[in-house]
C-alpha cells in the first residue's frame, strides 16, 4: 500500500478507443481513395495530397502550439479530405490556402475540435471554389492527363465500369466508387459510421436522378450516384461526426436533406455539382435536427 | 431459443476467468467484526447492545423503527468492545458495533429453524425476512421486505431472479447458482408466494452456460418458473433492462418495477431468503469475489459481514506491488476506495476489485466530437453528450431537459467515449443538483 490509490467516479474501465484512434481509422479508410487518385492522376495527385495534409497539420500545430504535429489526427483527416475534393493538379499555393482556411476559419474560430458547425474541409473547398473557380474546375483525363470536362459537366458518358473504378475526370478522391466503398466498409466495421446518413443520401440522389433528369431512367439514377462527389460526400463528409446529427432519426433526415439538396443544385442550379453546398447547408441545420429528434427515453410517460 | 437482449449497452472485457471456476471457500472469521449500523438504503439502525455486552452469533444488535430499514446482526460471538465510526464504501463514516470474536461461533437462541415454513402466510414470511435483515445483495441494498410489499393496487405478475451478473470481473452470483441452485429456486418460490405472483424467471447471461444448465435442472418440474438465457452485454442485469427483456414491459419513468407487475431479486438475495425462512438464519455472511490483477490469488469467499476488507485481501495473498485502485463492487458501477483501513465487508459488498497501473488510466478530457456513441450505447435512451456539456456550463435545467433524471448510472457512456469525457460522473452531478433544487421548492 505504498502507492497512493486512485479514487475516481465509476466506471473504472474505459474502452481503448480515443479521438486519435478514430481519426487514424478514418485515415486508413481513405487510403484506397488515395491509392486510386495516385494510380489515375499520377505524381501531381500525390503532391497535392501531401501538401494539403501537411499544411493542415502544421496549421493546427501552430494554432494549438502543439509540438506533436500529428496531434489527435483530426487535422490530417481534414487536410486529406480537402485534397481529395480538389482537381488533380492545382497550384501548390491553392492547396496551402485551402488547408489553412479549413483549419482556421473552418475549425478553430469556432473553438477547435468538436465545436465547428461546418465540415472544415468543405469550408476550405467552398472558399477555393468561389475564389479561384478556374483552377478549381480544370479537370484532367485519367492516366493521359489532358484537359477535359467532368461527366457531370457534360463530357461523354464514360461507361459505368469506368465510373465505378474511377477512370473518369473529376476531383482526386471522388472518382473511384470502388475505393471509397472499400474505405467505407472499414468504417462500418469499426463502428465509426452507421448506415443512416450514407443510405438516405444515396437513396435521395438515386431516386431524384432516376425521376427528374430527363424522364424516368434507372441508368441516369445510377449515373448520378457514381459521377461527381456523391460517394465521397455520403461516406466521408456527411458522416463527419462533429457536423452531423447524433441521433439515428436525425441522421436519416440529415442524409435525406444532403441528397435532395445535391440533386437540386445538379438539376436546377448554376453549378454542375452540388455535394459541397448541400452538406454545408445541412451542417447548419444540425442543432435544429438534433433537438427535433431526441429519442424516446426508456419508460417515457405520454404527457 | 433466440437470446434476449436490450437496446444499447457495451461489451467490456469480462475478466471472469480468474475466479469463475473457483468454488466458494469460507473466509476466516475476523478477530474483531465491525458491524455497521447502516448497511442498507433507509433509516440507520440504533444499537441494541452496549460496550461490554456479550453477544452471540445471529443476535440482533441494531434495529430501527423506520419501515424502510433492516436490522443488523452479530456475525461472530464475543464481546462488544466499542461502538464507534468505521469507513463505508460510500466514503461517509458510519456508526458500527465492534465485536471481539471469542471464536466459539455460539448461535443466539433466536436462530431457530422453522419446520413448518411451507405453511406460513405471506405476512409471517415478510416478518421473518425483515427480522433477518435481508437487503438486495446485488449492491443496491434496498430492504427486501419493503420490496416484497408493493402497493395493494399493484398486482405482481412476475418475480425475476437476476443472475445476469453483467458486471465484469464478478463471479459471486455465478458461483452461487452453481453451488446453491435449490436455495435460489426456494427463495424465488417464497418471493412468488409473498407477492402472489403466478410466474417466475431466472435470468442468466449466456457467458455462464454451466449456471444456465444447473438452474434448468433445479427448476425441472416447476411449470411456472423459466430459466432465460440472455445475450452477454452490459448492463443486461440492470433492473429496468431485465424487465423489458423478459416481459416486454417498460417501467414508467420515475416509477418502480411493481408499477408494471414485476419484482426483481438478486440470486444471492434469494439464497438469503431461503436461509432465513427455512433455517432461521439472519443475513450475517455473503459471497464476495476478490479479484483483479492487483490481488495475488483471486478467490470467491464466503465472508462474515463485518470482516475487515484488509483481512479478506490478506486471505487472497495480499495486494500486488503495482496496485492502483481498490473498488468495492464491479468496475462499471463499483466505488473506488482511498484505502481499506477500518472498512468492513457489508451486506452489499459483492466484490473487492483490485486494479493495477495497467487497467487504471488517467486520461485527458477532450472536447466532445459528437460521435454519438454515448447515445447509441445508452440503455435508457437519454443524451449523455448534451447533459455533459450542460453540466460543464452549469446549466442544470438543460441537463434535466435531456432527461438526466432517468439515468441509471450504468457507466456505458463514460466507458465508450473516445474523448474520455466523464459523462456518468457529470450526469450524477446533474441529478444531485436537480434533486436539490426540487427539494428546495
**pLDDT per position as a tens digit, B121-172:** 999 999 999 999 999 998 789 999 999 999 988 999 999 999 999 999 999 9
CATH of B117-279, one of 3.40.50.450, 3.30.930.10, 3.90.1150.10, 3.40.50.11540: 3.40.50.11540
Number of domains in chain A: 1
Whether A297 is in a domain gets the answer no
ipTM of the complex: 0.91
pLDDT confidence of residue B236: 92
Interface subset of B 224-243, CB within 8 angstroms of A: 240
The pLDDT confidence band at residue B1, using thresholds 50, 70 and 90, is very low
Note whether B118 and B372 are within 8 A (CB).
Answer: no
Q: Is B360 part of the contact surface with chain A (CB cutoff 8 Å)?
A: yes
Q: What is the pLDDT of residue B2?
A: 54
pLDDT for B329 equals 95
**pTM for this predicted structure:** 0.92
Q: B403 in contact with A at a CB cutoff of 8 Å?
A: yes
Is A263's Cβ below 8 Å from some Cβ in B? Answer: no
The answer to the question of residue A287 being in a domain is yes
pLDDT at B163: 95
What distance in Å separates residue B61's CA from the closest CA in chain A?
A: 32
Partner A contacted by B364 (CB < 8 A)? no
Q: Say if the Cβ atoms of A10 and B13 lie within 8 Å.
A: no
Interface test with A, best of B359, B362, B377, B418 (most A CBs within 10 A): B418
Nearest to A295 among B335, B381, B414 (CB): B381
pLDDT at A1: 47
Residue A233 lies in a domain: yes
Structural domain containing residue A155: 19-292
Task: Examine residue A3 and state whether it is found in any structural domain, yes or no.
Answer: no
Per-residue pLDDT at A302: 60
Quickly state the pLDDT bin for A148 (edges 50, 70, 90).
confident
Q: What is the pLDDT of residue A156?
A: 77
Share of chain B above pLDDT 70, in %: 99
pLDDT single digits (tens) B9-31 = 999 999 999 999 999 999 999 99
**Residue from B370, B401, B412 to probe the interface with A (highest A Cβ count within 10 Å):** B370
State whether residue B248 sits within 8 Å of chain A by CB.
no
Closest Cβ opposite residue A12 in set B253, B331, B412: B331
Residue of B nearest to A114 (CA): B369
Number of residues assigned to chain A: 303
Is the CB of B415 less than 8 angstroms away from the CB of A22?
no
The CATH number of residue A112's host domain is 1.10.3430
Identify which of B338, B355, B403 has the shortest CB distance to residue A297. Answer: B403
CATH 3.40.50.11540 residue ranges of chain B are: 117-279
**Given A241, A245, A297, which is nearest B382 (Cβ)?**
A297
* A168 assigned to some structural domain: yes
Amino acid at each position: 500500500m505504498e502507492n497512493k490509490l486512485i479514487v475516481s467516479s465509476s466506471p473504472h474501465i474505459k474502452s481503448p478507443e480515443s479521438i486519435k484512434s478514430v481519426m487514424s481509422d478514418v485515415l486508413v479508410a481513405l487510403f484506397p481513395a488515395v491509392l486510386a487518385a495516385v494510380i489515375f492522376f499520377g505524381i501531381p495527385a500525390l503532391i497535392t495530397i501531401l501538401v494539403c495534409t501537411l499544411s493542415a497539420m502544421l496549421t493546427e500545430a501552430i494554432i494549438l502550439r502543439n509540438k506533436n504535429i500529428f496531434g489527435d489526427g483530426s487535422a490530417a483527416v481534414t487536410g486529406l479530405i480537402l485534397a481529395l475534393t480538389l482537381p488533380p493538379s492545382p497550384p501548390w499555393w491553392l492547396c496551402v490556402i485551402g488547408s489553412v482556411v479549413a483549419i482556421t476559419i473552418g475549425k478553430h474560430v469556432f473553438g477547435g475540435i468538436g465545436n465547428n458547425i461546418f465540415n472544415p474541409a468543405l469550408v476550405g473547398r467552398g472558399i477555393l471554389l468561389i475564389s479561384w473557380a478556374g483552377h478549381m474546375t480544370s479537370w484532367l483525363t485519367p492516366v493521359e492527363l489532358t484537359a477535359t470536362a467532368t461527366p457531370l459537366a457534360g463530357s461523354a458518358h464514360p461507361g459505368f465500369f469506368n465510373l465505378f473504378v474511377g477512370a473518369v475526370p473529376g476531383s482526386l478522391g471522388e472518382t473511384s466508387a470502388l475505393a471509397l466503398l472499400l474505405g467505407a466498409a472499414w468504417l462500418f466495421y469499426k463502428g465509426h459510421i452507421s448506415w443512416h446518413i450514407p443510405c438516405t443520401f444515396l437513396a435521395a440522389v438515386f431516386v431524384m436522378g432516376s425521376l427528374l433528369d430527363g424522364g424516368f431512367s434507372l441508368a441516369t439514377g445510377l449515373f448520378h450516384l457514381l459521377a461527381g462527389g456523391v460517394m465521397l460526400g455520403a461516406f466521408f463528409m456527411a458522416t463527419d461526426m462533429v457536423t452531423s446529427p447524433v441521433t439515428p432519426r436525425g441522421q436519416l433526415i440529415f442524409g435525406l436533406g444532403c441528397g435532395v439538396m445535391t440533386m437540386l443544385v445538379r438539376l436546377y442550379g448554376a453549378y454542375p455539382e452540388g455535394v459541397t453546398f448541400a452538406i454545408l447547408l445541412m451542417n447548419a441545420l444540425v442543432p435544429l435536427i438534433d433537438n427535433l429528434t431526441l429519442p424516446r427515453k426508456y419508460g417515457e410517460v405520454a404527457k | 431459443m433466440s437470446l434476449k437482449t436490450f437496446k444499447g449497452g457495451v461489451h467490456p472485457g469480462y475478466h471472469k476467468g480468474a475466479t469463475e471456476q473457483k468454488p466458494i471457500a469460507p473466509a476466516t472469521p475476523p478477530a474483531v467484526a465491525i458491524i455497521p449500523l447502516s448497511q442498507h438504503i433507509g433509516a440507520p439502525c440504533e444499537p441494541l447492545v452496549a460496550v461490554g455486552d456479550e453477544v452471540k452469533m445471529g443476535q440482533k444488535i441494531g434495529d430501527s423503527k423506520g419501515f424502510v430499514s433492516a436490522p443488523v446482526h452479530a456475525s461472530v460471538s464475543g464481546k462488544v468492545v466499542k461502538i464507534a465510526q468505521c469507513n463505508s464504501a460510500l466514503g461517509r463514516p458510519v456508526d458500527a458495533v465492534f465485536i471481539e470474536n471469542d471464536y466459539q461461533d455460539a448461535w443466539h437462541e433466536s436462530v431457530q429453524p422453522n419446520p413448518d415454513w411451507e405453511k406460513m402466510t405471506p405476512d409471517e414470511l415478510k416478518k421473518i425476512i425483515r427480522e433477518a435483515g435481508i437487503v438486495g445483495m446485488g449492491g443496491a441494498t434496498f430492504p427486501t421486505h419493503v420490496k416484497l410489499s408493493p402497493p395493494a393496487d399493484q398486482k405482481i405478475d412476475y418475480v425475476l431472479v437476476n443472475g445476469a451478473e453483467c458486471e465484469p470481473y464478478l463471479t459471486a452470483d455465478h458461483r452461487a447458482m452453481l453451488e446453491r441452485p435449490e436455495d435460489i429456486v426456494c427463495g424465488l418460490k417464497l418471493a412468488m408466494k409473498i407477492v402472489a405472483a403466478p410466474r417466475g424467471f431466472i435470468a442468466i447471461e449466456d457467458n455462464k452456460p454451466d449456471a444456465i444448465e444447473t438452474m434448468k435442472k433445479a427448476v425441472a418440474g416447476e411449470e411456472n418458473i423459466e430459466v432465460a438465457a440472455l445475450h452477454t452485454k452490459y448492463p443486461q442485469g440492470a433492473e429496468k433492462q431485465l424487465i423489458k427483456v423478459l416481459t416486454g414491459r417498460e417501467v414508467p419513468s420515475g416509477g418502480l418495477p411493481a408499477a408494471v407487475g414485476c419484482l426483481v431479486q438478486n440470486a444471492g438475495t434469494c439464497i438469503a431468503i431461503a436461509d432465513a425462512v427455512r433455517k432461521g438464519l439472519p443475513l450475517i455472511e455473503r459471497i464476495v469475489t476478490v479479484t483483479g490483477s492487483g490481488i495475488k490469488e483471486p478467490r470467491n469467499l464466503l465472508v462474515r459481514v463485518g470482516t475487515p476488507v484488509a483481512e479478506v485481501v490478506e486471505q487472497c495473498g495480499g495486494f500486488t506491488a503495482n496496485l492502483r485502485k481498490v473498488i468495492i463492487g464491479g468496475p462499471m458501477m463499483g466505488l473506488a476506495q482511498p484505502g481499506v483501513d477500518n472498512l468492513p465487508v457489508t451486506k452489499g459488498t459483492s466484490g473487492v476489485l483490485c486494479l493495477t497501473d495497467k487497467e487504471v488510466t488517467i486520461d485527458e478530457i477532450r472536447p466532445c466530437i459528437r460521435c454519438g456513441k454515448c447515445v447509441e450505447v445508452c440503455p435508457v435512451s437519454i443524451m449523455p453528450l448534451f447533459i455533459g456539456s450542460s453540466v460543464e456550463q452549469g446549466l442544470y435545467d438543460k441537463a434535466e431537459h435531456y432527461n438526466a433524471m432517468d439515468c441509471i448510472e450504468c457507466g456505458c457512456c463514460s466507458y465508450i467515449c473516445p474523448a474520455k469525457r466523464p459523462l456518468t460522473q457529470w450526469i450524477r452531478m446533474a441529478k444531485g443538483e436537480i434533486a436539490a433544487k426540487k427539494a428546495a421548492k
